[in-house]
Amino acid sequence: MNIVILAAGMGKRMRSALPKVLHPLAGRPLLAHVIDTARTLSPTRLVVVIGHGAEKVREAVGAPDVQFAVQEQQLGTGHAVQQALPLLDSSVPTLVLYGDVPLTRASTLKRLLDAASSERYGVLTVTVDDPTGYGRIVRDAGGAVRKIVEQKDASEAERRITEINTGIVVSPTRTLEQWLASLKNDNAQGEFYLTDVVERAIEAGVEVVTAQPDAEWETLGVNSKVQLAELERIHQRNVAYALLEAGVTLADPARIDVRGTLECGADVSIDVNCVFEGRVTLGDNVSIGPNCVIRDASIGAGTRVDAYTHIEGGTAGANVVLGPYARLRPGAVLGDEAHVGNFVEVKNAVMGRGSKANHLTYIGDSDIGARVNVGAGTITCNYDGANKHRTVIGDDVFIGSDTQLVAPVRVGRGVTIAAGTTVWKDVGEGELVLNEKHQVSKTGYIRPTKKKV
């Protein structure tokens, strides 16, 4: 089967410089969702018809299995499909999808394809409460489809029809070519309507069949920011309910956003207002506190992520405690039972099993062994203004509070670093390291006071 995705329209009502089909839903362009769904049907040809913002669209969704046909002027949906014809295999049917209708399920499309098979013309229709603006499905007394009439061309009686054209159709390709070539634009909008192909098919003795989606939202398109926001909520509700069905506990299914894929083990619980981006994996018994943002991360079984933790790439082992207010950046790797507490940032660094950095710390470009205690206010000074250097710390090191480690530097296993030390030279195994300084106390000091007025 061929699949053609129409995406040449401008989307004036989005009031945006970004082409409509590139506006994100769940963090990805609308068109990317349609392409994903198309791929699940394994088309032999996948063609996207582009026009407005063609180069941006090409760049955003280009892939080896996607071909583009450019429609220079938007002369109508029929004209748009015509532009794709040279790229299609005429021996198999063609399914037409819309780049701004992102939530159609593959199961619905399969139903339409089954109904049409390779010789019939199939239209995905849906009956709605308010059909305003849509093409209406006109049937004869026997219930057979006679034609599709656009809102602007419809009579009073036709406007009362509530079964509408979703726009999604499937057709034998060779005949579609002939039918499209015969279209006229003598209608209210002066466009070459794909919908007029229905009458051509009937004239040619080809049966026109219809199929319906499981849910109306599958056929909703995006023409404005209001509709985009509505579809985002529908999509997020679907994702949340799928998580619930899979056994995940959500404090509130209306307050989670998944912009990518979220895989969860058994007995995972997620508190309110969490955002998951990219590819996130949560092991068994992971609990996520409220207001966490987690992107591209893998979190091991039994790990607790407390409130306001921000992860932008990283791996945590089993039974780790993260947060509240922790930040993991790309390349952070935490061993089992590690603790990363409030206002601790870890970037491109490994923390071994059971190591703890509980308060106010920056660990960057470091290799930290097991059971290391990182005191409050510890900073790895990894950047000299031009280059990044590594800090290497052995197992069982105790780092006193307010320590600076000036990289490149190596601290041997079992070392004790006194509070307030700047370590700029390597330290041998088991040593105590401190900076000599003297505490001085003076008597008779009088602290300045504010004058009372």
Active site amino acids: 359
Residues 6+ apart with CB under 8 A from 89: 2, 44, 45, 173
CA distance 317 to 68: 44
Strand ranges in 335-451 using DSSP code E only, listed in sequence order: 339-347, 349-351, 356-364, 366-368, 373-374, 379-381, 391-393, 398-399, 404-406, 409-411, 416-417, 422-423, 432-433
Q: Could you tell me the two tokens for 131?
A: 């059909």
Residue 117 Cβ, how far from ligand UD1 at the closest point, in Å?
Answer: 23
CA distance 288 to 291: 9
Residue 378 Cβ, how far from ligand UD1 at the closest point, in Å?
Answer: 55
34 versus 374: smaller Cβ distance to ligand UD1: 34
Instruction: Please select the residue that binds ligand UD1; options are 66, 145, 164, 170, rule is CB under 6 A.
Output: 164
Residue 125 touching ligand UD1 (CB under 6 A): no
CA of residue 154 relative to chain centroid, distance: 40
Residues 6+ apart with CB under 8 A from 274: 255, 256, 257, 288, 290, 291, 292, 293, 294
Residue 99 touching ligand UD1 (CB under 6 A): yes
Count of residues that interact with ligand UD1, criterion CB under 6 A:
27
CA distance 181 to 203: 15
Residue 334 touching ligand UD1 (CB under 6 A): no
Residue 74 touching ligand UD1 (CB under 6 A): yes
98 versus 276: smaller Cβ distance to ligand UD1: 98
206-225 residues near ligand UD1, rule: CB under 6 A: 221
Instruction: Please select the residue that binds ligand UD1; options are 32, 80, 258, 415, rule is CB under 6 A.
Output: 80
**Cα angle 377, 334, 380; round to 5:** 30
Residue 75 touching ligand UD1 (CB under 6 A): yes
222 versus 409: smaller Cβ distance to Ca ion: 222
101 versus 397: smaller Cβ distance to Ca ion: 101
Residue 206 Cβ, how far from ligand UD1 at the closest point, in Å?
Answer: 18
Residue 373 touching ligand UD1 (CB under 6 A): no
Binding piece for ligand UD1, criterion CB under 6 A, among 1-9, 138-146, 270-278, 440-448: 1-9
Best CA proximity match to 23, nearest among 261, 230, 217: 230
Residue 165 touching ligand UD1 (CB under 6 A): yes
Residues forming contacts to ligand UD1 in the complex (CB under 6 A) are: 6-9, 49, 71, 74-77, 79-80, 98-100, 134-135, 148, 150, 164-167, 193-195, 221
